Amino acid sequence: MAFPEYDLVVKSSAIVTPSGIISGQIAVRDEKIVGVLARTEELPAKKTIDAGSDPVIPGLVDTHCHFRDPGYTHKEDYYHGTIAAAAGGVTTVFDMPNVDPPTTTADRLKAHLENAQSKAVVDFGHNASGVVPENIKELADAGATAFKVWMMKDIGRDYPHPPGTSLTNDAVLYRVFEEVAETGLPLYVHPHNHDLYELFVQRSQEQWGMDFRSYARALRGGDGVVLNTAIATILEFQRSVGTKLHVLHLSTRAGIEMVARAKAEGRPVTAEANPFALFVTNDWAKIERHGPFTLGFWVPEDDNPHMWRAVQDGTIDVVGSDHGPHTKEEKEVGWKDMYTAPGGSPMIEQYLRLMLTEVNKGRLSLERVVELCSSKPAEVAGFAGRKGAITPGADADLVVLDMDHEETLHAEHSHYRCGWMSSEDLESKGRPRMTILRGRVIMEDGNVTAEKGSGRLLRPGH
């Protein structure tokens, strides 16, 4: 009896599956992977892609994106942000709530998701603002995939940490932990001891002035105490309450040790690193060269090897892009006064290339990159089995790689509206040459063909 025709078959001698790298073919029907089969038989298909020896990995799942939409679309919008995602091999995105209005209520979340649905070209969900404990249940019911809290507010500026997304009161934060625990969803926390930060900002400005160097040093004053005391606080809240906690921006020695201990105790704690911290701001020479266009935050030399070991050994579970575009004009101010310039840099299109470069160097395995950028983010977000893995039953989100492609990265070759990036001039080896979303090719050789609004909203439990 003849096999029914598949919608798509993708062949490769290097398919990265949860059980290892295999030679085979991926059979797709009705947007799903229905089989990962041997290459020995010809499968009838409407479309066949033979990748040869080029590896095929699951589409990246980015749990940390800032698309600036609505409210700040002069920086970027959901359409252009997800175009850049598709070009970078990212097939699922979860954006952050520092938009205007911030997603603190169910009505605001519904409006946000409707806006995103009209523009997205990859699948998406939203990490709602968790600063109002009384609203957390209604936000979960309305489709939030996670909750995000910044333990800080802006000093000298009103963005990217505006009112409605920030929380500096420990009692209210503890109540947030309690309410989020009741939903079963994860809580993403940007750790920051704001009172201590004000002290170190004052000291840094007095010693070094207002430029980007002073700004970089302020956050790491006292050998990371601003970050470490905040990490200690949220880990203690997690121990007390039991909430699923995802620690963002992990980069300090002491913070890594605290997270490792919590994980060793079997607690539901995960952690994220960011590509700008792994590849750009962990080198003071790059900060000196590109100034405000790198920051972000600095990772001192003493902390950098600890961060990389945590990426390699699993203490850090996820690499999230923290994609954060601003206009050139907004960033230029930072050469003289970084305290009024917005922090953040665009990264969603380049970070897979940078991770593949480390694979080519032997620093990471391709399987580990898939864990960090696809399977574990999908698990943290609640979509394991559907996203982030090449396995029967999962969405057919695939990326074909060219591991030999060498390129010096330049913003002019990107899809960013802002026209710049913190990874400017970095050397890369390896790139996504084709992105497939639910069985449809949406990017080939940098050309994104997905239609506006073709992305699909992801809801927990659906």
Task: Indicate if 63 and 41 belong to the same structural domain.
Answer: no
Task: Indicate if 45 and 64 belong to the same structural domain.
Answer: no
pLDDT of amino acid 2: 55
- Closest-CA residue to 173 (of 133, 228, 118, 229): 133
In a domain, 261, yes or no: yes
Task: Indicate if 252 and 319 belong to the same structural domain.
Answer: yes
C-alpha to C-alpha distances, 449 to 83, 121, 444, nearest whole angstrom:
9, 9, 8
In a domain, 389, yes or no: no
- Residue-wise burial string across 134-171, b where 16 or more C-beta atoms lie within 10 A, e elsewhere: ebbeebbebbbbbbbbbbbbbbebebbbbebbbbeeee
Alpha carbon distance 126, 143 (integer Å): 8
At 384-417, the pLDDT tens digits run 999 999 999 999 999 999 999 999 999 999 999 9
- List, in order, residues 6 or more apart from 278 with CB less than 8 Å away: 307, 308, 311, 319, 354
At 196-240, the pLDDT tens digits run 999 999 999 999 999 999 999 999 999 999 999 999 999 999 999
Task: Indicate if 335 and 247 belong to the same structural domain.
Answer: yes
Report how many domains make up the chain: 2
In a domain, 321, yes or no: yes
Q: Please say whether the beta carbons of 421 and 409 come within 8 A.
A: yes
Task: Indicate if 206 and 310 belong to the same structural domain.
Answer: yes
- List, in order, residues 6 or more apart from 256 with CB less than 8 Å away: 250, 271, 306, 307, 310, 315, 316
In a domain, 3, yes or no: no
In a domain, 228, yes or no: yes
Task: Indicate if 28 and 107 belong to the same structural domain.
Answer: no
C-alpha to C-alpha distances, 373 to 7, 88, 113, 182, nearest whole angstrom:
27, 12, 23, 28
Task: Indicate if 72 and 51 belong to the same structural domain.
Answer: no
pLDDT of amino acid 1: 39
Alpha carbon distance 121, 241 (integer Å): 38
Residue 265 burial (CB < 10 Å; 0-12/13-18/19+)? exposed
In a domain, 453, yes or no: no
Residue matched to tokens 């790491």: 220
Full residue range of the structural domain in which residue 441 is found:
8-56+394-448
Cis amide leading into 292 (omega within 30): no
CATH number, domain with residue 40: 2.30.40.10
User: Where is the domain boundary, 381, 405, 426?
Assistant: 381
Q: For residue 447, what is the DSSP state?
A: E
Task: Indicate if 103 and 247 belong to the same structural domain.
Answer: yes
pLDDT by 10-residue block (mean), the chain, 462 residues: 82 97 98 94 94 98 98 97 98 98 98 98 98 98 98 89 92 98 98 97 98 98 98 98 98 98 98 98 97 97 97 98 98 97 97 98 98 98 98 98 98 96 98 98 98 97 77
